């Protein structure tokens, strides 16, 4: 007979909310999912200590709380041991800052059961992706040790970033007409200015948002995105080639075959960025 506890493999969730009714609602919904284990409830100044002791995989975290807000809780945590976060609050003005803290989702109270389970599913999928990346890191480390290390290689245990991953925010969050729009960064191909709007060209289509191109650029990882023209930003990882045109002009060709004009004044810097991003 297996001696493993019944909770093995479950997503460990901590509820952080100062309202008893809200905590009861969250616990009731969470306990409907057999893949979830609610490890506790708390709020206030003791929350960072409770998180450090219980080591939950996921927080359902209220933003506006007495004594210590949800954002203050996150600021007090060890960034290297940060759980995933689903924010829950009645105040939508905190949403942008919540996503800047890498929240996996944002539930605006009162929320429906359907909306809650959408957030929970998204969190579980994110956790599964992270587990896959950990496995990739371990495999990379095993291969590195078996093949031998050369002088100057990283020491054992320092395996570098997981294959296919990058540092920096993985979502672009924009506000438009009272809505919060969340775009996975990996799905953005290029962005163009259209008067007072920007048009985001995505893998699954296009989205028009009332925002300046400069405002969008400020929210993007400068290592991944480059402004090749005063009205165009491209995802460097989605560039296939730089093609010479007549009279010294060049075009940036994306994986999709889309050709975009590269400003002459930005060509040298862009080609250097490509070499840095994709050496060899």
Chunked into runs of 10 residues, the chain (280 residues) has average pLDDT values of 51 95 96 96 94 93 89 77 84 63 78 93 82 55 49 41 44 78 91 85 90 85 88 93 82 93 86 77
Domain positions in the chain are 1-164, 171-277
* CB of 233 closer than 8 Å to CB of 224: no
- Given the DSSP bridges, would you call strands 36-42 and 11-16 parallel, antiparallel or unpaired? parallel
Strand locations in the chain, DSSP E? 11-16, 36-42, 58-62, 84-89, 105-108, 171-176, 179-184, 188-194, 197-202, 205-209, 225-229, 232-235, 239-244, 250-254, 259-262
| pLDDT over 70 percentage in the chain | 75
Residue with tokens 């890191």: 137
Q: Model's pTM, two decimal places?
A: 0.51
* Residue 178: partners with Cβ closer than 8 Å, 6 or more residues away: none
CATH architecture classification, 1-164: 3-Layer(aba) Sandwich (3.40)
Task: Tell me what the pLDDT averaged over the chain comes to.
Answer: 80
**Could you give the CA distance from residue 91 to residue 260 in angstroms, rounded to a whole number?**
41
CATH number for 171-277: choose from 2.60.40.2240, 3.40.50.720, 3.40.50.10860, 2.40.50.1020.
2.40.50.1020
């Amino acid at each position: 007979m297996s001696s493993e506890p019944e909770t093995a493999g479950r997503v460990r969730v901590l509820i952080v909310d100062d309202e008893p009714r809200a905590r009861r609602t969250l616990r009731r919904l969470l306990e409907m999912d057999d893949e979830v284990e609610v490890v506790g409830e708390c709020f206030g100044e003791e929350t960072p200590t409770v998180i450090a002791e219980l080591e939950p995989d996921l927080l359902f975290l209220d933003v506006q709380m007495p004594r210590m807000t949800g954002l203050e809780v996150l600021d007090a945590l060890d960034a290297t041991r940060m759980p995933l976060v689903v924010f829950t609050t009645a105040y939508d003005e905190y949403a942008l800052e919540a996503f800047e803290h890498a929240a996996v989702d944002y539930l605006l109270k009162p929320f429906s059961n359907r909306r809650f389970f959408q957030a929970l599913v998204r969190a579980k999928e994110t956790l599964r992706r992270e587990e896959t990346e950990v496995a990739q890191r371990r495999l990379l480390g095993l291969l590195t040790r078996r093949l031998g290390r050369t002088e100057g290689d990283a020491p054992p245990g320092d395996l570098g970033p997981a294959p296919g991953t990058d540092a920096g925010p993985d979502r672009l969050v924009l506000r438009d007409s009272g809505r919060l729009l969340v775009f996975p960064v990996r799905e953005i191909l290029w962005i163009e200015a259209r008067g007072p709007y920007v048009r985001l060209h995505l893998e699954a289509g296009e989205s028009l948002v009332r925002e300046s191109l400069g405002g969008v650029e400020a929210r993007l990882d400068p290592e991944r995105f480059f402004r090749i023209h005063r009205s165009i930003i491209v995802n460097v990882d989605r560039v296939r080639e730089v093609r010479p045109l007549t009279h010294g002009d060049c075009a940036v060709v994306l994986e999709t075959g889309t050709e975009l004009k590269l400003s002459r004044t930005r060509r040298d810097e862009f080609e250097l960025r490509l070499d840095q991003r994709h050496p060899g």
